[in-house]
Structure 1
Amino acid sequence: MHACNAHGLHCVPLYDTLGAGAVKYIICHAEISIIFAEKSKISEYLKTLVSFSTVTNDQKLQAENCGLEIYSWDEFLQLSKQSKDRVELPLKLRSDICTIMYRSGTTGEPKGVMITNESILSILCGVNHHLDNMSE
């Protein structure tokens, strides 16, 4: 999430507990184009997929047939090493969106809650304050 935030990208966690319909809805609603997932979670709604495990040749062929790019985690890490372009990180503001968390949608479709950098900073400051005031 922090790496995405540093590059000005919004991280949107997807939880299996919301159900397949909710995950599909969130992918479309948030216009997600890349997902980091286990190989069992491959979806046809994406453009790029990064698997935390190895990717078989059959999976690569299946992904190509669906118009997807698919990388194993190790392959994904190598992409930045192959690029000769230096990426400049954008200036981040406290008011910028850090992540979008979707609630279960018990009254209908899941609801996206935009969480800003300032919200994350407030939580971290509160935890830090709490830890500073604890006895060992």
Structure 2
Amino acid sequence: MTPTALAQTHRRAFDHDRPWSALEFADLLAQRGVILCGSADSFVLGRVTFDEAEVMTLATLPEQRRMGLARAALTDFLGRAARAGAASVFLEVAADNAAAIALYAAQDFASVGRRRAYYARTCGAAVDALVLRRAVADAAA
């Protein structure tokens, strides 16, 4: 997956947020510990730092949603993060993103915090982020 393809998917997946640019994806992909899972239709981009992993973004094309692609990419990410030494993984998700929250709950993520007005929206008020965390040691198998 090229940075351009990732940016195109991200732009379509997050039409009410500021999407990440191809340059931002290129910069992230060049960093140590970064893991990219999935396909251009649905991907997870995260990183492992010491014993902790972070899901930086998960994006799925609108017409590819509810097909299990995000779940598969996330499952792959969890396994790869565990194999890279992560004991836990965290992420932020918009408090109004019910589909993503349901996906993360089904993958045993639990809420550990809230960041007020974290996500600026192109139209409307900023939205809180829920901070979610889960252990990943069991995902390495």
Q: Which has the larger radius of gyration?
A: 1
Q: Which has the higher helix share?
A: 1
- TM-score (normalised: structure 2): 0.25
Q: Which has the higher strand share?
A: 2
- TM-score (normalised: structure 1): 0.26
